Amino acid sequence: MRIYTKTGDKGMTRLVGGVAVSKDSDRVESYGTIDELNSWVGYTISQFSNNLINEKEELQYLQHFLFDVGTDLATPQSLNRSITLPADAVAWLEGRIDEYTAKSPEINRFILPGGTSEASMLHVARTIARRAERRMVRLQTTSKLPSELVMFVNRLSDYFYALARYINAKQGREDIFYSRSAEVFHNSKI
């Protein structure tokens, strides 16, 4: 089986259903950034220490959701098909965020991204998720996206942030506060 199609030689690619679009279209930028995030999560999993088995498994579970989002973004609305992302995906993310936040030290100021190598990689994932969200918001100006996709990607950055803080705490690494930050979080936990 050949994996090259030669359609990209002229700067075009095909969406689900066969519609040809430019490789620099907002839709391709959106699902391409999700693909980048999924690849980064895969790399992150490969670098996690052996004491983070549950977290590795959870991130691999998340990768399936990311593939679903990419598939849904690569499917033009003209196909009128239901989305691949499961209906409970946003609720699953919110549950994980709440659990990790509850298990992390309280903060009321901004922190610097970093800590353990695993937490640092999750902060990179957080910023890629934010970029994917920006790409999707841009795509929404010309195409209607299912609200669940935007909500899911919006929660992703919070998920990676909460997981990074939890892993730092689990591995005994304190968060480093941004030195010029005033008190910004008025709830005891973010």
Is 135 part of any domain? Answer: yes
pLDDT above 70: residue 17:
no
Is 90 part of any domain? Answer: yes
pLDDT above 90: residue 25:
no
In this prediction, residue 190 carries a pLDDT of 44
Are 90 and 152 within 8 A, CB to CB?
A: yes
At 20 the three-state DSSP class reads: strand
Are 172 and 116 within 8 A, CB to CB?
A: no
In this prediction, residue 186 carries a pLDDT of 59
Among 71-75, 85-89, 126-130, 160-164, name the one with the lowest average pLDDT: 71-75
Q: What is the residue range of 101's domain?
A: 24-74+82-170
In this prediction, residue 112 has a pLDDT band, given cuts at 50, 70 and 90, of confident
Is 103 part of any domain? Answer: yes
SS3 content of the chain, % helix, strand, coil (to 5): 60, 5, 35
Are 75 and 141 within 8 A, CB to CB?
A: no
Please name the helix (run of DSSP H) or strand (run of DSSP E) that holds residue 182, with its range, or none: none
**Full-model pTM:** 0.90
Please name the helix (run of DSSP H) or strand (run of DSSP E) that holds residue 73, with its range, or none: helix 53-73
CATH number at residue 157: 1.20.1200.10
Among 64-68, 148-152, 176-180, name the one with the lowest average pLDDT: 176-180
Is 5 part of any domain? Answer: no
Is 16 part of any domain? Answer: no
Is 19 part of any domain? Answer: no
In this prediction, residue 69 has a pLDDT band, given cuts at 50, 70 and 90, of very high
In this prediction, residue 79 carries a pLDDT of 66
Token pair belonging to 93: 């993310």
Is 87 part of any domain? Answer: yes
* Number of domains forming the structure of the chain: 1
In this prediction, residue 77 has a pLDDT band, given cuts at 50, 70 and 90, of confident
